[in-house]
A and B are shown apart, each in its own frame.
Chain A
Amino acid sequence: GENVEQHPSTLSVQEGDSAVIKCTYSDSASNYFPWYKQELGKRPQLIIDIRSNVGEKKDQRIAVTLNKTAKHFSLHITETQPEDSAVYFCAASKVQGAQKLVFGQGTRLTINP
């Protein structure tokens, strides 16, 4: 089955700097790659996603890139702010079936003022 590896497990950056979180997946049939943000004590929420027919997608300060050949995708956050501090999860799924997601282990991002 699908396996998603996420790195790093923790990341600390200065406010205003950029942060990058990377994920690799094993199943070449996966074609949907969402990123979820989970603030302390809260539920995970989708922040951005990308499908396999697209190489990059941006939404204001966040962007996701996908390399299908290498089977990896990354989350980029620019001009980081204190409210970006959270745990971020990548995931992968296929089109067919119930669209179940396989999640990475998570990255705890801390923005230092």
Chain B
Amino acid sequence: DAEITQSPRHKITETGRQVTLACHQTWNHNNMFWYRQDLGHGLRLIHYSYGVQDTNKGEVSDGYSVSRSNTEDLPLTLESAASSQTSVYFCASSDGTSREQYFGPGTRLTVT
């Protein structure tokens, strides 16, 4: 069955380290999104992509970057992790026709 996966599911890192969170989908969806979820803020968009080689900033993109080299993957990189980036990160994808976004299981990141 087609699915969307994230790895790792849990990560503890130190301030200043570079961290990459993986997102992989097998639906062949063109659109992919990264959100962070914090209590009281709902889901906030970090970056998104229309397709291969396309990336766009969301509302909370500072300190994050993404790259889209193929349809299936959109890795999220924290260039220099900060304590303020402790959060739960969700990846999502959509086909652009039905509008529904399918979410991955999430990655809980703790920056100490």
Q: Are A89 and B50 in contact (CB under 8 A)?
A: no
Q: Which residue of chain B is the closest to A41 with respect to CB atoms?
A: B106
Which positions 38-71 of chain A face chain B at CB distance < 8 Å? 42-46, 49
Indicate the size class of the contact surface on chain A. Answer: 20 to 34
B1 part of interface (Cβ distance < 8 Å):
no
Q: Are B42 and A43 in contact (CB under 8 A)?
A: no
What is the interface of chain A mostly: helix, strand, loop, or mixed?
loop
Chain A residues near B31 (CB-CB < 8 A):
98-99
B96 part of interface (Cβ distance < 8 Å):
yes
Report which B residues bind A (CB closer than 8 A).
31, 33, 35, 40-45, 48-50, 56, 58-59, 90, 94, 96, 99-101, 103-106
**Of A32, A34, A93, A105, the contact of B40 (CB 8 Å cutoff):** A105
Report which A residues bind B (CB closer than 8 A).
1, 6, 9, 32, 34, 42-46, 49, 89, 93, 97-106
